[in-house]
Amino acid sequence: MSTDRVIRVLSGRDGAHVLALWGLVSLLPGARLRFDADAIAHLTWDGDDDALGVTAARGLVERTWGLGDGLLAGIKTTVPKRSAVNPKTEAEWRAVEQAGRLPTTSILAVFNAAATGEDKKGKIQDGDLKVVSSALTMLSGRSYTANIVQETWRLLEVEDADGARARAAVEIGRLLDGGLSIASSKPGLRFSAPVTPPRVASGSERVDIQPLVDLLAFTGQLLLSPAQRPFDPAAGDKALAWVLNPVPLDLAGLLDLSAAPPRSLAWPRYEAPIVSEGGRASISALKPAHPVTPASHRGSPNA
């Protein structure tokens, strides 16, 4: 029988908490999530709390542990060369169990693999192209994603995958009971940091974070399909636009969406204007997000 759990420690009005809840639900097959009128999360899943903790912990470790030795081996930048990324993307396609279906979530989503970049002079270096910088993972600077995720695990004082699974199960149980562990961290994922300041102290300032929230939020943000596009061409403004990822889609669905993208999508679509201040040391931030409707959609329908 399905059990409805009220998760009061994570709020539907906090962006990091919403991402963390999405991440948690994605780790629990058949789970459902809803928010009530007070933005309190309700998680429904078959199984008791112990089974929930073990299942979610196992999935969290599978998706986030040892990325530098696995899918991100050899990639230490958010703008890697095509020769490094393309084989990994091809390997994921070969590994799918059903034709035309991608994994529900993939660490490769931290790269904007849909576009190609060049150097500042517009030249191709060493006969190799680069992946365009992605706005998906909101890291501070062009950070080494695999290392930052692993450092977040170290804040939970674990040294191997078995220890990570055991500790994650404990932390998820604590979350269900209304508690969260807090740790002091240098700049990293920092989804849960109360304030995320720019790097004003050579990147060495420390902030209080909640490691479990950061790891779950990192998993949750892989469910988003982001893109930057002009939403007001006359003003030249930019916006971060995203939809809840419809993948896995079958091949026919992917082709239909690519050939004739609908103006009104069947899943929620949002955008948040991007504002920048400063000169060389510019700081960018996101304004509040709002849903995109056919009436408000002023950019390209392919964005």
Q: What's the pLDDT score for residue 142?
A: 43
> Quick one: 284 and 271 in the same domain?
yes
> Quick one: 156 and 255 in the same domain?
no
Interval 278-284 mean pLDDT: 60
Q: What's the pLDDT score for residue 159?
A: 92
Q: What's the pLDDT score for residue 84?
A: 85
H or E element, residue 55: helix 49-64
Residue 141 burial class via C-beta count within 10 angstroms: exposed 0-12, middle 13-18, buried 19 and up:
exposed
**DSSP helix/strand/coil, 142:** coil
Interval 199-207 mean pLDDT: 59
Note whether residue 296 is domain-resident. no
> Quick one: 213 and 233 in the same domain?
no
Give me the DSSP letters along 220-287: HHTTEEEEEEEEETTTTEEEEEEEE---S--HHHHHHHHHS--SS-SS-EEEEEEEEESSTT-EEEEP
User: Does residue 222 have a pLDDT over 60?
Assistant: yes
Interval 217-224 mean pLDDT: 82
Q: What's the pLDDT score for residue 170?
A: 97
> Quick one: 120 and 240 in the same domain?
no
The number of distinct structural domains making up the chain is: 3
Return the structure tokens found at 144.
């080494």
> Quick one: 51 and 159 in the same domain?
yes
Residues 6-36 have pLDDT tens digits of 999 998 888 889 889 999 998 999 899 988 8
User: Does residue 230 have a pLDDT over 50?
Assistant: no
Show which of 197, 221, 245 is a domain's final residue. Answer: 221
> Quick one: 89 and 195 in the same domain?
no
Residues 57-78 have pLDDT tens digits of 999 999 999 988 888 888 877 7
d(C-alpha 79, C-alpha 183), whole Å: 29
> Quick one: 158 and 214 in the same domain?
yes
Q: What's the pLDDT score for residue 14?
A: 84
Q: What's the pLDDT score for residue 214?
A: 92
Residues 96-124 have pLDDT tens digits of 766 555 555 677 766 766 667 665 565 66
Q: What's the pLDDT score for residue 15?
A: 81
Of the two residues 277 and 266, the one the predictor is more confident about is: 277
> Quick one: 52 and 170 in the same domain?
yes
* Mean pLDDT over each residue of the chain, to the nearest integer: 75
Note whether residue 206 is domain-resident. yes
User: Does residue 158 have a pLDDT over 70?
Assistant: yes
What is the span of the domain harbouring residue 95? 79-136
Q: What's the pLDDT score for residue 299?
A: 45
Note whether residue 21 is domain-resident. yes
Q: What's the alpha-carbon Rg for the chain, to the nearest Å?
A: 20
Note whether residue 300 is domain-resident. no
Residues 83-93 have pLDDT tens digits of 888 888 888 77
Q: What's the pLDDT score for residue 279?
A: 60
> Quick one: 155 and 57 in the same domain?
yes
> Quick one: 252 and 207 in the same domain?
no
Residue 125 gets which letter from DSSP?
Answer: B
